[in-house]
Amino acid sequence: MTDFSLRAARIQLGALLAALALAIVIALGITTGAFILSFAVQRDLARQALIPENLTWIFPAIVDSAILGSTIAIVIISKLKMNRRDRGFYIALAVSVVVISILGNAYHAYHAAIAAQESIDGGGDLGFIPLAPAIAAAIAIIPPALVLAFTHGITILVKAVGMAYAAYRAVVENVTDSEHAKSIATDLTVSREPFRDSTSRGETDPNVAELVEAERNEDTTNTVTQIDRGDDLADFAEPFFADAMMAERHDDFDPQETATEALNRQDTEEAQAADGDTAMDDLMAFIATSNLKKDVKDTAVRKLTNPNLTWETIAMESKPPVAISTAWRRYEKFDIAAREAGFTSPPLPDLRSSENTTDRELAAAH
């Protein structure tokens, strides 16, 4: 279905480009013919207005150049984000100069038809029968009117081509993301074992898995270090407090009950750790198989694997570095998508908690 959509979008874009090229060729032909006819008519009008003979060509050159320039400007600004006043100026200019050309052609044709009819009535022979003045004027305004119409038509086609190209790019990006997700799943199948629940959300991106594993190793190292420090403190404090503690709790101490409580506590902690690992694995699998952009996924993995990272650090470590607000918006897109997929806190960090003051400030700013 995706290949069909891509092919259809490509065909649509090609058809619109061909239509645009054909329309431009037709418009150039009409414009050239209209300029030639208009030039002759307006030069004759300039002569009738008693402009010197050697300067009569300037008037039609001014009018026709204004038509050409405004036409090109309208086509160009149709794809630019300009304010309505600037765009309206060129539209008004094009309409004005075309109206001048239309009125000049109509006036010249009307009076030429009257003069021809008077010549025939006086016994002259023109070799043809002239049209009625009104019909002659109507025919004379067709070329400049078509120039204006085709200018508007080309503008519409340019916008249509832009929309078709945007749709084509969207389909191409969708296909690229799908192929990337498939390649991730294939690489993971070869290099790693599947998750406990094979029917869940898919498999984890190898890069995501490496980040998670490195973060867990770091957490384990920190935990061992903290335990060693705790043992040293306990050894130091034991001579001072051992006798007092044994004296106070000797009567209440039950070795069997204490051992049972320790085992229950250990089982509970192991179960919670297993549940947390499973939830995090599922969340990483969701990131790998989602349609989120690569930079959004990278930001999410950085924040999930190390919740203590500040947004400033994440923004600076991004490739390329981005603004802090951009890093926050990227993670916010992931958080919304993950919660819509059914994930909660944990494994998602609770950005509203008291431990995430910076996160809450960014959230309030946005």
pLDDT for position 198: 43
Q: What is the pLDDT of residue 57?
A: 92
Decide if 314 contacts 342 (C-beta within 8 A): no
pLDDT one digit per residue (tens) for the chain, 366 residues: 456 677 777 787 788 788 878 888 887 888 788 788 888 888 999 998 899 989 999 998 898 888 888 878 887 887 777 778 888 898 898 889 888 888 998 999 999 899 888 888 888 877 888 889 899 999 988 888 887 787 777 777 777 777 777 777 777 777 666 665 666 656 555 555 444 444 444 444 555 555 555 555 555 555 445 545 555 544 544 444 444 444 444 455 455 565 566 656 665 666 555 555 677 778 888 888 888 888 888 888 888 888 888 888 888 888 788 888 888 888 888 888 888 888 876 667 766 554 455 555 555 555
Number of Cβ within 10 Å of residue 244's Cβ equals 9
Q: Which pTM value belongs to this model?
A: 0.42
Report the candidate in 337, 241, 221, 253 with the shortest Cα–Cα distance to residue 289: 337
Cα dihedral 246, 249, 255, 258 sign: negative
Q: Give how far Cα 45 sits from Cα of 138, 178, 198, 353, Å.
A: 18, 66, 85, 82
What is the reported pLDDT for 219? 53
Q: Looking only at Cα atoms, what is the longest distance across the chain?
A: 146
pLDDT at 10: 78
**Token pair recorded at residue 213:** 């594993």
Q: Over the Cα atoms of the chain, what is R_g?
A: 40
Measured distance CA(255)–CA(237) in Å, rounded: 22
- Contacts of residue 285, defined as CB under 8 A and 6 or more positions apart, other chains included, come to 195, 200, 201, 202, 203, 204
